[in-house]
Amino acid sequence: MLGVRGNREFVNAPRDVEHASTSVVQCRDCTFIYCNPTIIGADILEAAHYSKSETYSTTVHEDVTKPFAYGLATILRYSEGGKLLDVGAGKGEFLSIACKKGFLVHGFEPSREFCNFANREFGIDIHCGDLKTFNKVYGAEQEFDVISLFHVLEHVKNPKNLLLELLPMLSKEGVCYIEVPNADASLLKVVDKIYKLIGRGWSSRLSPLHPPFHSIGYTPRSITTLLENSGFHVIEIKTFSGRNRGHQIDTRFGSIKKFFRSAFVGFFDLIPNKELIGVVVSSKNPARHSAKVK
């Protein structure tokens, strides 16, 4: 067991709520991290959080391109254009960026408010629904040169099923880019040790009852195992800084908190095993795939 996590087991947690918590555990074989037992009803809180475009943001910066900078640069090393599908497209930020880079963009997102935001702010049409309804509208036989999943798999109850459905949609020469938090990052390990030293016994690896509502967590090893078991070939996997991704802090001392958060994460940029994982996969022999050097 890595520790305890719930609606009171984190800094500045509210105390006027009915207490609920669970244990955060890690598989010794594949290193997958998850909650045991699962908290019933956590998905309702998660859905409410990820449905309001005015309160949810992927970044602590005003520049919405920053959270997608690493992923975009990685994708462009393998693909110079073509059809792109963004899974869980959110408010359309990445699709807007990819469109400007010459991609023919498509995406689907369950939140109607997010889809409306993307159309209103970026002129991007996102299918409101899931992969099943997307395929009913556009056809399951279509193929894409790039499929992207930015911080999606940590919210999916059965990630393997989703990956198996996406696999035949990837073109022969196509690549899929997947980005997830690194639940085994050096930064989180240090935070957990601090919690133990002060007698809390909390775990910072997951957050089932508060933003960003993660009940499952990946490590480089576990995400590789999942992808290979789903029929993909891993071409590239790296960890990178989580400095540019987070949540807006709209409080009286928000600017101060942003500064210290950035400085704290920036310090751990000097240490391997960083906060985010970026993976490039294909559905064919990776030996035939090589990055395009520009």
Would residue 251 count as lying in a domain? yes
Query: How big is the chain, counted in residues?
Result: 294
Would residue 291 count as lying in a domain? no
Q: Is the pLDDT of residue 25 over 80?
A: yes
Query: pLDDT above 90 covers what percent of the chain?
Result: 74
Looking at per-residue confidence, does 59 or 212 come out higher?
212
Domain that residue 10 falls in: 3-285
pLDDT at site 52 = 74
Q: Could you give the CA distance from residue 290 to residue 175 in angstroms, rounded to a whole number?
A: 11
Q: Could you give the CA distance from residue 16 to residue 217 in angstroms, rounded to a whole number?
A: 28
Name the residue with tokens 């991609």. Answer: 103
Would residue 290 count as lying in a domain? no
3-state secondary structure of 187: helix
CB 268 within 8 A of CB 187: yes
Would residue 150 count as lying in a domain? yes
pLDDT at site 289 = 55
Would residue 240 count as lying in a domain? yes
* CA 277 to each of CA 94, 182, 242: distance values in angstroms, whole numbers, following the listed order: 17, 6, 9
CB 119 within 8 A of CB 203: no
Give per-residue pLDDT as tens, 122-159. Answer: 999 999 999 999 999 999 889 999 999 999 999 999 99
Q: Is the pLDDT of residue 249 over 90?
A: no
User: Of 182-186, 229-233, 271-275, which range is least confident?
Assistant: 271-275
Cα of 146 vs its chain's centroid, Å: 17
Would residue 269 count as lying in a domain? yes
Q: Is the pLDDT of residue 68 over 70?
A: yes
In this structure, what CATH number is given to the domain that contains residue 279?
Answer: 3.40.50.150
Query: pLDDT above 70 covers what percent of the chain?
Result: 85
Average pLDDT over residues 232-245: 93
Would residue 135 count as lying in a domain? yes
3-state secondary structure of 162: helix
Would residue 293 count as lying in a domain? no
The total domain count for the chain is 1
- Nearest residue to 114 (alpha-carbon basis) of 126, 98, 123: 126
The model's pTM is 0.90
Q: What H or E segment, with its residue span, contains residue 160?
A: helix 159-166
Give per-residue pLDDT as tens, 35-50. Answer: 999 998 899 989 888 8
Give per-residue pLDDT as tens, 81-93. Answer: 999 999 999 999 9
Average pLDDT over residues 188-192: 95
- Nearest residue to 86 (alpha-carbon basis) of 68, 106, 116: 106
